[in-house]
Amino acid sequence: MPDTSYSVRTAQSFHVYLAPGPPSTELAAVLAELGLDGRPLEDPANVIQPALVVVGPGQKAPEGLADIAFAPPADAPRSAIRELLRMAMENVALKQAVKQLEEQARRQHRQFEELNRIGIALSAERDIGKLQEFILTTMRQLTNADGASLWRKTVGEDGSPQLFLASSQNNSLANTYQAFTVPVDEKTVVGYTVTVGWSQVYEDAYNPPPGKPRGGKSFDQQFGYRTKSMLTVPMRNYNNEVVGAVQLINAKRRFETKLTVDNVPTEVVSFRPEDLEMIESIASQAAVALDNKSLLDSIQALFDGFVQASVTAIEQRDPSTAGHSGRVESLTASLARAVTEIETGKYRDIFLTDDQLKELRYACLLHDFGKVGVREHILIKAKKLMPGQLEVIQARFEFVERSVQLRYATEKLEAMRNGGSAAPALSDIDRRLDDELARLGTWIQDIVAANEPTVMPEDKASTLEFLSQQTYHDISGHPHPMLDPQEFRFLSIRKGTLDPQERLEMESHVTHSFHFLTKIPWTSVMRGIPEIAYGHHEKLDGSGYPRGLTGDQIPLQAKMMTISDIYDALTAQDRPYKRAVPREVALDILHAEAADGKLDKDLLDVFVNKRIYQVTAPR
């Protein structure tokens, strides 16, 4: 016997269509037995699935319906037709099931690919604003949602948990974003979602399920909108903590449709069950991505604070160079960006990425950190003599002056005792006293002048050498040089305030900086910082320090910093050991250095032509 129970069960879910042609008496009887209503096939486009199309013997199936067509044999008995009909319907049912499974597999594959693409994009995006926009755009595209908003959990001034609107989009409205917060409670849909910790699906936001808050009315009243279908999903981080929520509104039949209050009833549909599963997955990925980005931002802020603290520490040890590192960073960064943008010349193919520019920024800010290893009296040495040494010399000359006055007063007294009180004799003593005091005054003036950090004239150098060979006697009668060896050495410095030994110690700050910076576990994109800072006093011809590098041995970024460092040192207004030179003179000095093969001429041309020097000009 045929499986009539199956046939009846199948028949209830099938639509049977009869193709044009002579009707089969046996077929009509079988259909009647099975309770099936065979209706004429009028328009193949209006066939309701699942369906079976019966065609006459020798007839072709209508176009596009071959898979569901059945042609009973002309002379087949009723029992055979019944069995063939059952098998045909079963075959159609199997084909439909296979088709649905294939469609489901394709949809799941597309979703997997989309989720994989989204995961990669979420991991790659570093700008948190762009990241939030990407999250909302992707969710709207996958669900045909008209609007979307992203809420992130925070703490209010009173310590209560709150949600702030981090980003929002609406395809039908413009400029709807307004920064505000809502409490984490059960009065709003997003607050309720975060409070209970699971997703909410509303068919109509104005008519929510019992016990749940309404949504959208205040927004709709403000913007003339109608919020209907709504999907709100909590965002959970890798610790399964709810850190925010994503809310989608008004799923549409077509993504590009612009909604109005009038067309919402016909164009807005409910969010599908598969939408919920997919959005929950993306929301979790988004929460982890935002958490990671916030963590990276915190680490970045922490490191920036450390760098600024380091710069402050340097400047407190050497107040005369306060602001130097920041100005060098501004000049060098501007020069680097200009080099990246130029399309002609030696460096037209050079392109520095954002990471490389950040690497250069830190190298500039920390390039002088090694000064913490230089003795403070050398760092702040404004004159050739050490602080207090000039006062000692002046006191010495005052003692010598008093000694001279005492000696001549004694001579004058002796002359008067010996009857030599004649005016000419006493006048001669006074004249010689005045001459010697004037000479002492001239010497001390020469010493004061020689102490200044300027190029010393030859006559002053001769005076210093003469004084180093002269002696005076203390109260006990012991002889001492008018200038001791250290005083003479310092005052004999031809230029600046440092003698060769002090200059070597000052120049050692570059090596100290390098050693300090190599102790920091830099990331792969920042590992060039120590080497860039190490080369900022090198010159192309090998005359720089500390390693005497030449040409391409010096990193390009270090060559940029060298130009900026020299320019700022020349024009700085706060150096006690030298006067600031005008901008034009500073640029002339840089050009002279480049002409001598010490500085990179092409980089200097960019520095001048692009007016990089104006970055630190007083405003």
Residues 460, 512, single domain; the answer is no
- Helix, strand, coil percentages, rounded to 5, for the chain: 55, 10, 35
Domain that holds residue 168: 125-295
Mean pLDDT throughout 544-568? Answer: 95
Q: Which helix (H) or strand (E) holds 333?
A: helix 324-341
Tokens (6 digits) for 545: 């320090």
pLDDT at 237 over 90: no
Residues 525, 605, single domain; the answer is yes
Residues 590, 443, single domain; the answer is no
pLDDT in tens, 333-391: 999 999 999 988 899 999 999 999 999 999 999 999 888 888 878 877 888 888 888 99
Residues 323, 436, single domain; the answer is no
CA distances (Å), origin 123, targets 128, 131, 181, 409: 11, 9, 27, 93
CB 191 within 8 A of CB 228: no
Instruction: Report the CATH number at residue 23.
Output: 3.40.50
pLDDT at 11 over 80: no
3-class secondary-structure state, position 550: strand
Q: How confident is the model at residue 124 (pLDDT cuts 50, 70, 90)?
A: low
Residues 509, 365, single domain; the answer is yes
**Lowest-confidence region among 110-119, 132-141, 241-250, 535-544:** 110-119
pLDDT at 106 over 80: no
**Integer Cα distance of 462 and 446 in angstroms:** 10
The reply to whether 433 falls in a domain is yes
Domain ends where: 248, 263, 295?
A: 295
The reply to whether 595 falls in a domain is yes
The total domain count for the chain is: 4
3-class secondary-structure state, position 465: helix
pTM: 0.64
What pLDDT was estimated at residue 554? 96
Rg, Å, the chain Cα set = 46
Mean pLDDT throughout 18-36? Answer: 74
CB 92 within 8 A of CB 51: yes
Instruction: Report the CATH number at residue 196.
Output: 3.30.450.40
**Integer Cα distance of 62 and 184 in angstroms:** 61
Q: Which of 279, 244, 270 is nearest to 141 (CA)?
A: 279
**Integer Cα distance of 85 and 23 in angstroms:** 15
The reply to whether 472 falls in a domain is yes
Residues 446, 552, single domain; the answer is no
Residue 15 β-bridge partners: 51
Instruction: Report the CATH number at residue 610.
Output: 1.10.3210.10
What pLDDT was estimated at residue 9? 41
Residues 539, 605, single domain; the answer is yes
pLDDT in tens, 140-171: 988 899 999 999 999 888 889 999 999 999 99
Residues 530, 475, single domain; the answer is no
Q: How confident is the model at residue 619 (pLDDT cuts 50, 70, 90)?
A: low
Looking at per-residue confidence, does 87 or 567 come out higher?
A: 567
pLDDT at 521 over 80: yes
The reply to whether 117 falls in a domain is no
**Lowest-confidence region among 454-463, 533-542, 606-615:** 454-463
Looking at per-residue confidence, does 128 or 124 come out higher?
A: 128
Looking at per-residue confidence, does 377 or 184 come out higher?
A: 184
CB 491 within 8 A of CB 465: no
Q: How many other C-beta atoms are found inside a 10 Å radius of the C-beta of residue 3?
A: 12
What pLDDT was estimated at residue 96? 80
Looking at per-residue confidence, does 85 or 221 come out higher?
A: 221
360 residue type, one letter: L
What pLDDT was estimated at residue 133? 87
Tokens 């020299």 locate to 566
**Lowest-confidence region among 311-315, 346-350, 358-362, 448-452:** 311-315
Tokens (6 digits) for 29: 């009887």
Tokens 């007063």 locate to 409
**Integer Cα distance of 309 and 297 in angstroms:** 18
What pLDDT was estimated at residue 417? 79
Domain ends where: 240, 260, 295?
A: 295
The reply to whether 119 falls in a domain is no
Alpha helices, H only, 475-537:
485-491, 500-518, 529-534
Residues 69, 204, single domain; the answer is no
Across the chain, what does the average pLDDT equal? 86
Looking at per-residue confidence, does 490 or 68 come out higher?
A: 490
The reply to whether 336 falls in a domain is yes
Of 57-61, 402-406, 559-563, which has the strongest mean pLDDT?
A: 559-563
Residues 130, 277, single domain; the answer is yes
Residues 341, 394, single domain; the answer is no
What pLDDT was estimated at residue 230? 96
What pLDDT was estimated at residue 481? 92
**Integer Cα distance of 155 and 508 in angstroms:** 49
Domain ends where: 475, 496, 517?
A: 496
The reply to whether 384 falls in a domain is no
What pLDDT was estimated at residue 371? 87
Residues 435, 466, single domain; the answer is yes
The reply to whether 444 falls in a domain is yes
Dmax over Cα atoms in the chain, in whole Å?
176
DSSP code, position 520: S
Indicate the burial class of 94 (C-beta count within 10 angstroms; 0-12, 13-18, 19 or more).
exposed
Q: How confident is the model at residue 2 (pLDDT cuts 50, 70, 90)?
A: very low
Phi-psi region of 53 (alpha: psi -120 to 50; beta: other; left: phi over 0): beta
What pLDDT was estimated at residue 420? 59
**Integer Cα distance of 582 and 571 in angstroms:** 6
